[in-house]
Structure 1
Amino acid sequence: MTIVLVMAVTSFSFAQKNEIKAIEKALKNSNYADAKSAASAAQGLIGNMDDKSKAKFYYLKAQALYANGNGSDADIDEAITSLENLKDLESKMGKLKYTQKANEMTTGMVNTFLTKANEAFTKKDYKVAAKRFEKVYRMSPKDTLYLYYAASSAVSEPDYETALDYYIELKNLGYNGAEMNYYATNVETGEEENFSDKASRDFSVKAKLHKLPREKKSASKTAEIVKNIALIYVSQGENEKALGAMADARKENPDDIGLLLSEANVYLKMGNRERFKELMEEATEKDPNNAELQYNLGVLAAEGGNSEEAIKYYEKAVAINPNYVDAYTNIAVVILDGEAKIVEEMNALGTSKADNIKYDELKEKRTKVYEKAIPYLEKALELKNTNIDAARTLMNIYSALGETAKFKEMRTKVEAMEASANGN
């Protein structure tokens, strides 16, 4: 029995070595299909391998499955697991013979998949991009930015179920995406430039190639992540979960204006316009010099039919930011909103003397509406000379007012804009 047992153990040992050699030989010849088959065969013998052989097997198996970047998604997942098993095993052994090689291999895998992820994103193949970015993150868990990219890609697909999983994972990891940016002004061009790291920036400043160094931390992505979680819940009809996600986030960050606005957007998505307005007003109190907040309240008031309130908010927006084109345009839109009713009344009149008098009164009223709107449209066009909607509206107003010279001038501008838009 002892002789039989020894022969059996020896047989297993030879089988293990032969299978591992088969993987090595196939890899040497870049024959990844054979290497994968040999790894599969060796997998059945792993229970009888010693730790040294197991470590080597895990490393070779990962190489076979990775196939120099050509492995399937399932194979890559298995390769990542094999490398993790290797690192855990050698860590327990206290001998890192293959771990360094595994780290180098992981770096290569990360670079390969990052390139593929970027290529897919550029081609707008967001589904593939999301999976590739996730792979990069799984291979290098410290780089949580790539899980954020995976979530953003999934949203762009759109694949909200997958995006939700990624966003929840990011939230649980405490990811906020805030990074320190390093700036300095180019001495030759006078343009401020962003450096990849502090050392590079400081070196360039020391070499007198740049001056005026400064540092600024980028905005946190926490509000965006929580908002997207909430909006996905809303799209799924899970309103309570949506509000719960927002409440938890705001409890942790009560002064975060981004989270406040995100909660407002969730209520708007749910159709609760009153609560949306309340939160927007709260946001303007916290940030009174934010032109965009005032503008959004103007939009809300205009949609609710409150013209005077809408104009008040739009005017606050331009008072804060005199170059806010959309605010000027929307003021004109609100003013001109009453024109249709005036024209309807004019068209309903008869030919009696009383009707003619009424017609002239309405015509004068319409003229005043036009005259009130003109300065805002002209300002919008001045700030953005490609604003074709403002130009067309001005052209039609000048025509209605009988201002022929201005009408012809504006018509020429409109025709030039249309030609430019059509590539002529």
Structure 2
Amino acid sequence: MKKVIALVLFVAFTSMSFAQKNEIKAIEKALKNSNFSDAKSAASAAEALIGNMDDKTKAKFYFLKAQALYANGAGTDANIDEAISSLESLKDLESKMGKLKYTQQANEMTSSMLNSFLTKANNAFSNKNYKIAAKGFEKAYKMSPKDTIYLYYAASSAVTDQDYDAALDYYLQLKNMGFRGEQMNYYATNKETGVEESFSDKASRDFSVKAKLHMDPRDEKSEPKTAEIVKNIALIYVSQGEDEKALAAMTDARKENPDDLGLLLSEANVHLKMGNRDKFKVLMEEATTKDPNNAELQYNLGVLAAEGGNVEASKKYYEKAISIDPNYVDAYNNLAVAILSEEATIVEQMNALGTSAADNRKYDELKEEKAQLYRDAIPYLEKVLELKSSNIDTAKTLMNIYSVLGEMDKMKAMKAKIEQIQSAANGN
């Protein structure tokens, strides 16, 4: 009985080995005829038998499978990713075996694939097809993981394409691996033109200097890209509404970019979005110390003060914005609104008065205060209309103010202005 069992097992093993060889031959035959579809199918069939393959057969299978999936560059993204993985499996296996039968061919194939990916990625980037560029640089990185700069190029391409999910994945990989991205740049001055030029590598630069075509060679190390990476991670989280993650990333980003005004403002806006108005104000005031001549910062602080009910502070901020940028139309408009916002309090006081002589005198005083508010607001409203002549709301406000103040000629002129704006809007 034992002999029968042994015979059955031997026959089964022989059949399995025969099937493996047939599938491997099928892959080879299809590849020889550049029939990548059949080669892929045969590789899939052989995959089911891989658990019973010896290491020598398995190594050959990995190599053939990679060729079938790559299809001379015509494979799908998923196929090519699998081809890269298959080549890595081959190299790992033969390294453990201590016999590199297919590794040299695999390295040649890897080099060819890498050059193909880089060429396609660079061409796609030049043609502003950033999505394809990102995929190409990502594949180049997978082919050559030591060249982490390719992953950085993939991230930059994805950001330009506004594919923020992909870009975030790339940037997080770069951050977690401690990528800095510094590189040495090589320069020399063209003797004929006197213009300094850059070279792709030191050898080319040194050769040109030796040939007396260039002079004054110098090397310069580029700035690390860590600051850019953490900043972009934070900003992507902001765009995705991941406020808590954004703030955590911004803590890292601001350590790398302590003087980056844009990042500071982004953090301030996240706090405002989350309702942290006090923190928003602190950061905005910090921003004004970093950039005191930024009219927009002053304007935003004015808006914040107005929303907080501090009218006098808002006026000062708007006035500061105008002093920096005399054509800041929104600052003029909001300054007029801030002035006129006090009208409601005056009207409330007037309505609360009685009919006594004292109340009548107080009424007249309040009426004059209200009229003075109008007169104070007029110059700013007129400036708004000067800078933005089609602003019909400002024109209507001015017409009403002129009417209340009894300045009938100005009121009629503004009425005509409103009709002109409306006619233009209607295409007449």
TM-score normalised to structure 1 length: 0.68
Q: 2:113 aligned with 1:116, yes or no?
A: no
Distance change in 2, residues 1:9/1:334 (3 Å) = same
1:221 to 222, 225, 229: 225
* Whole-angstrom distance in 1 between the partners of 2:210 and 2:292: 44
Structure 1 runs of 4+ with >6 Å offset: 343-348, 352-356
Aligned to 1:298: 295
* Whole-angstrom distance in 2 between the partners of 1:311 and 1:209: 54
* Whole-angstrom distance in 1 between the partners of 2:214 and 2:53: 60
Aligned to 1:197: 201
Q: 2:263 aligned with 1:262, yes or no?
A: yes
Indicate if the aligned counterparts of 2:138 and 2:151 stay in contact, CA closer than 8 A: yes
| Cα displacement string for residues 2-51 of structure 1 (whole angstroms, at most 9, x for unaligned residues) | 33333332322222222212212221221111211111121122112111
* Whole-angstrom distance in 1 between the partners of 2:301 and 2:329: 12
* Whole-angstrom distance in 2 between the partners of 1:335 and 1:264: 19
Indicate if the aligned counterparts of 1:264 and 1:275 stay in contact, CA closer than 8 A: no
Indicate if the aligned counterparts of 1:264 and 1:279 stay in contact, CA closer than 8 A: no
> One-letter code of the match for 2:82?
E
Residue 181 of structure 1 aligns to a residue whose secondary structure is strand
* Whole-angstrom distance in 2 between the partners of 1:124 and 1:191: 29
Aligned to 2:361: none
1:135 to 135, 139, 144: 139
Distance change in 2, residues 1:168/1:93 (3 Å) = same
1:35 to 27, 32, 39: 39
| Cα displacement string for residues 346-394 of structure 1 (whole angstroms, at most 9, x for unaligned residues) | 97769x99999x9xxxxxxxxxxxxxxxxxxxxxxxxxxxxxxxxxxxx
Q: 2:99 aligned with 1:72, yes or no?
A: no
Q: 2:382 aligned with 1:341, yes or no?
A: yes
Task: Let me know the Cα RMSD of the aligned residues.
Answer: 3.2
Residue 257 of structure 1 aligns to a residue whose secondary structure is coil
Aligned to 1:420: none
Residue 198 of structure 2 aligns to a residue whose secondary structure is strand
| Cα displacement string for residues 298-352 of structure 1 (whole angstroms, at most 9, x for unaligned residues) | 331245453554477x6xxxxxxxxxxxxxxx455579956653577997769x9
* Whole-angstrom distance in 2 between the partners of 1:153 and 1:163: 8
Displacement after TM superposition at 1:170 (Å) = 1.3
Greater CA radius of gyration, 1 or 2? 2
* Whole-angstrom distance in 2 between the partners of 1:66 and 1:258: 47
* Whole-angstrom distance in 2 between the partners of 1:354 and 1:20: 98
Q: 2:153 aligned with 1:149, yes or no?
A: yes
Indicate if the aligned counterparts of 1:148 and 1:167 stay in contact, CA closer than 8 A: yes
* Whole-angstrom distance in 1 between the partners of 2:298 and 2:162: 31
* Whole-angstrom distance in 1 between the partners of 2:36 and 2:55: 24
Aligned to 1:364: none
Displacement after TM superposition at 1:192 (Å) = 0.9
Indicate if the aligned counterparts of 2:254 and 2:263 stay in contact, CA closer than 8 A: no
Residue 192 of structure 2 aligns to a residue whose secondary structure is coil
Indicate if the aligned counterparts of 2:321 and 2:331 stay in contact, CA closer than 8 A: no
* Whole-angstrom distance in 2 between the partners of 1:308 and 1:99: 73
Aligned to 1:280: 287
Aligned to 1:105: 109
Distance change in 2, residues 1:243/1:354 (3 Å) = closer
Aligned to 1:417: none
Indicate if the aligned counterparts of 1:234 and 1:270 stay in contact, CA closer than 8 A: no
Displacement after TM superposition at 1:169 (Å) = 1.2
| Cα displacement string for residues 164-214 of structure 1 (whole angstroms, at most 9, x for unaligned residues) | 222111111112222221111011121111111122212221221111112
Residue 215 of structure 2 aligns to a residue whose secondary structure is strand
| Cα displacement string for residues 51-86 of structure 1 (whole angstroms, at most 9, x for unaligned residues) | 111111101110010000000111111111111111
Displacement after TM superposition at 1:133 (Å) = 2.4
Distance change in 2, residues 1:74/1:335 (3 Å) = closer
> One-letter code of the match for 2:382?
K
Aligned to 1:81: 85
* Whole-angstrom distance in 1 between the partners of 2:156 and 2:38: 38
2:67 to 26, 51, 63: 63
Indicate if the aligned counterparts of 1:307 and 1:334 stay in contact, CA closer than 8 A: no
Residue 219 of structure 2 aligns to a residue whose secondary structure is strand
Indicate if the aligned counterparts of 1:16 and 1:49 stay in contact, CA closer than 8 A: yes
Displacement after TM superposition at 1:139 (Å) = 1.7
Unaligned runs of 5+ in 1: 285-292, 315-329, 359-424
> One-letter code of the match for 1:264?
L
Indicate if the aligned counterparts of 1:181 and 1:195 stay in contact, CA closer than 8 A: yes
Residue 146 of structure 2 aligns to a residue whose secondary structure is coil
Distance change in 2, residues 1:336/1:13 (3 Å) = closer
Indicate if the aligned counterparts of 1:184 and 1:212 stay in contact, CA closer than 8 A: yes
Aligned to 1:183: 187
- Comparing 106-115 with 85-94, greater Cα deviation is found at 106-115
Q: 2:236 aligned with 1:239, yes or no?
A: no
Would you say how many aligned residue pairs link Structure 1 and Structure 2? 328
1:92 to 92, 96, 103: 96
Q: State the percentage of identical aligned residues.
A: 62
* Whole-angstrom distance in 2 between the partners of 1:276 and 1:47: 61
| Cα displacement string for residues 96-134 of structure 1 (whole angstroms, at most 9, x for unaligned residues) | 221222122112222222233334434444333333322
Residue 175 of structure 1 aligns to a residue whose secondary structure is coil
* Whole-angstrom distance in 1 between the partners of 2:406 and 2:7: 128
Unaligned runs of 5+ in 2: 303-316, 333-378, 387-394, 411-428
> One-letter code of the match for 2:19?
A
* Whole-angstrom distance in 1 between the partners of 2:331 and 2:175: 46
Displacement after TM superposition at 1:221 (Å) = 2.2
Indicate if the aligned counterparts of 2:321 and 2:328 stay in contact, CA closer than 8 A: no
Aligned to 2:28: 24
